[in-house]
C-alpha cells in the first residue's frame, strides 16, 4: 500500500542499485546523504560503500521499516535517519548525495542542494527522464531551457544511466535517468535573484528574439521600476552625493530629474498612451541599446550559451538595469 502522492516507487533491481552506487564513486570515508530511502534497498549498498549514511524520509512507516531492517546489524550505528520533508529540513554536512527521489520535488530539491551552504563533491540522483534531459541539455538542444542554464551555472551535470520503468515497484508512468551533479568550485559570483530574474525574462519564450522579448511593455516597465527603485536607494544612501551615484550608473539621459516623483508618474502615463509596440520611450531605448551593444537583438535564448547569458547580464548591470 504505497502512497502515490509521496512518489513511492521502490527500486527492485539489485544490479541497477549496484550500478548506481558504483557510478557514484563513493569513498570509504564518505558521509552520504540519502533522500527518500524508502525500504532501504539503496541504503544498504550505501552503508557498505561509505562511512555513514544520513537518510531523510518523510513517511514514518518507511522510517520504522528502515530502522527495523538495520537493527542489530553492524550498519545500525552508521545510519542516521531523519524523519521529515527534505525540503523543510536543514541538511547536515555531507560529502556526496545519492538518491532515488520522488519526482514531484525534483526542481526544489535540486536547487536546495545547489545552494547548500557547505560544499560537497557531487550528487547522484534519479530523475524522471525528461527532467534529466533538461538538466543536461546544451544550447540548440530541444529541451534546452531555463532549468538547463540555471543549473549549469552552479554545477557540471552529466547523464549517467538510463533506467526503464520496470526497475521499480510499482512501476512509475515514465522512464528515469540517473544524473551526476557536481557543484562548480568556486561557485560563480552572481547574485542568485538577479540571475534568476534575468533568465525568467530571457526564457519568456525561448524561440523569440531577445529584441522582441525586451521590447514588451511588461518587461520594460518592470525593468524601469527596478531602475528607479535603485536610483532612489542610491540617492538616499549617498545623501548630498546622490548625484555621483546616479552618474556612476552611467546614463546621462536618465539624470537627476528622475528622482522627482512627479516626473516619474508623467513618464508612466506617457508609456501607457503609446499603445502597441509604438515607438520611443526613453527607457525602452536604453534597454534596446544594451541588446544592440552586445549584438543580442536578433539572438534567441534557445541557442545562447551560459557565457553569453552572463555577458548580457553584465551589460545590463553596467547600464544600471537590474532584474531583482
Which chain residues interact with ligand SAM by CB under 6 A?
A: 6-11, 35-38, 41-42, 56-59, 62, 85-87, 100, 102, 105
SS3 content of the chain, % helix, strand, coil (to 5): 55, 15, 30
CB within 8 A of 75, min separation 6: which ones? 44, 47
Closest to ligand SAM by CB, 85 or 260? 85
For residue 1 the three cell numbers come to 500500500
Shortest Å distance, C-beta 73 to ligand SAM? 18
Say how many Å lie between the first and final Cα of the chain, rounded: 46
Shortest Å distance, C-beta 170 to ligand SAM? 10
Torsion (CA) 269, 273, 275, 280 in degrees, nearest 10: -80
CA gap 245, 238 in Å, rounded: 7
The number of angstroms, rounded, from the C-alpha of 166 to the middle of its chain's C-alpha atoms is: 30
Closest to ligand SAM by CB, 58 or 133? 58
**Nearest residue to 5 (alpha-carbon basis) of 83, 103, 81, 82:** 103
CA gap 35, 111 in Å, rounded: 14
Cβ atoms of 197 and 324 within 8 Å: the answer is yes
Shortest Å distance, C-beta 38 to ligand SAM? 3
Closest to ligand SAM by CB, 11 or 91? 11
Closest to ligand SAM by CB, 11 or 153? 11
**Residue 123 CB burial class (10 angstroms; 0-12, 13-18, ≥19):** buried
CA gap 133, 146 in Å, rounded: 13
Shortest Å distance, C-beta 124 to ligand SAM? 12
CA 188-190-191 angle, to 5 degrees, is 140
Closest to ligand SAM by CB, 6 or 51? 6
For residue 162 the three cell numbers come to 538510463
Cβ atoms of 43 and 53 within 8 Å: the answer is yes
**Residue 186 CB burial class (10 angstroms; 0-12, 13-18, ≥19):** exposed
Shortest Å distance, C-beta 88 to ligand SAM? 8
Closest to ligand SAM by CB, 9 or 284? 9
Which residue number has the CB closest to ligand SAM?
Answer: 36
Shortest Å distance, C-beta 128 to ligand SAM? 11
Closest to ligand SAM by CB, 62 or 235? 62
Closest to ligand SAM by CB, 44 or 300? 44
Shortest Å distance, C-beta 104 to ligand SAM? 8
Shortest Å distance, C-beta 90 to ligand SAM? 13
Closest to ligand SAM by CB, 35 or 114? 35
Amino acid at each position: 500500500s504505497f502512497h502515490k502522492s509521496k512518489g513511492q516507487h521502490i527500486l527492485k533491481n539489485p544490479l541497477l542499485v549496484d550500478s548506481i552506487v558504483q557510478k557514484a564513486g563513493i569513498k570509504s570515508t564518505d558521509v552520504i546523504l540519502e533522500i527518500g530511502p524508502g525500504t532501504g534497498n539503496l541504503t544498504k549498498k550505501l552503508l557498505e560503500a561509505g562511512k555513514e549514511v544520513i537518510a531523510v524520509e518523510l513517511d514514518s512507516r518507511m522510517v520504522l521499516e528502515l530502522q527495523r531492517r538495520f537493527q542489530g546489524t553492524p550498519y545500525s550505528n552508521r545510519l542516521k535517519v531523519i524523519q521529515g520533508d527534505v525540503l523543510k529540513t536543514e541538511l547536515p554536512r555531507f560529502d556526496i548525495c545519492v538518491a532515488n527521489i520522488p519526482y514531484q520535488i525534483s526542481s526544489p530539491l535540486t536547487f536546495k542542494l545547489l545552494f547548500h551552504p557547505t560544499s560537497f563533491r557531487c550528487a547522484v540522483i534519479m530523475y524522471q527522464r525528461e527532467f534529466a534531459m533538461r538538466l543536461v541539455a546544451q544550447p540548440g538542444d530541444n529541451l534546452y531551457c531555463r532549468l538547463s542554464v540555471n543549473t549549469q551555472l552552479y554545477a557540471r551535470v552529466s547523464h549517467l544511466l538510463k533506467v526503464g520503468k520496470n526497475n521499480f515497484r510499482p512501476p512509475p508512468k515514465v522512464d528515469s535517468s540517473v544524473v551526476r551533479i557536481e557543484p562548480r568550485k568556486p561557485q560563480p559570483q552572481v547574485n542568485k535573484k538577479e540571475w534568476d530574474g534575468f533568465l525568467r525574462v530571457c526564457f519568456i519564450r525561448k524561440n523569440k528574439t531577445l529584441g522582441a522579448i525586451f521590447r514588451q511593455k511588461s518587461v520594460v516597465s518592470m525593468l524601469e521600476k527596478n531602475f528607479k527603485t535603485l536610483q532612489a536607494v542610491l540617492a538616499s544612501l549617498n545623501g548630498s552625493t546622490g548625484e555621483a551615484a546616479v552618474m556612476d550608473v552611467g546614463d546621462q539621459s536618465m539624470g537627476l530629474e528622475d528622482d522627482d516623483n512627479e516626473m516619474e508618474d508623467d513618464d508612466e502615463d506617457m508609456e501607457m498612451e503609446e499603445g502597441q509596440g509604438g515607438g520611443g520611450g526613453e527607457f525602452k531605448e536604453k534597454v534596446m541599446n544594451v541588446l544592440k551593444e552586445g549584438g543580442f537583438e536578433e539572438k534567441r535564448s534557445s541557442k545562447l550559451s551560459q557565457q553569453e547569458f552572463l555577458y548580457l547580464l553584465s551589460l545590463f548591470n553596467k547600464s544600471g538595469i537590474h532584474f531583482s
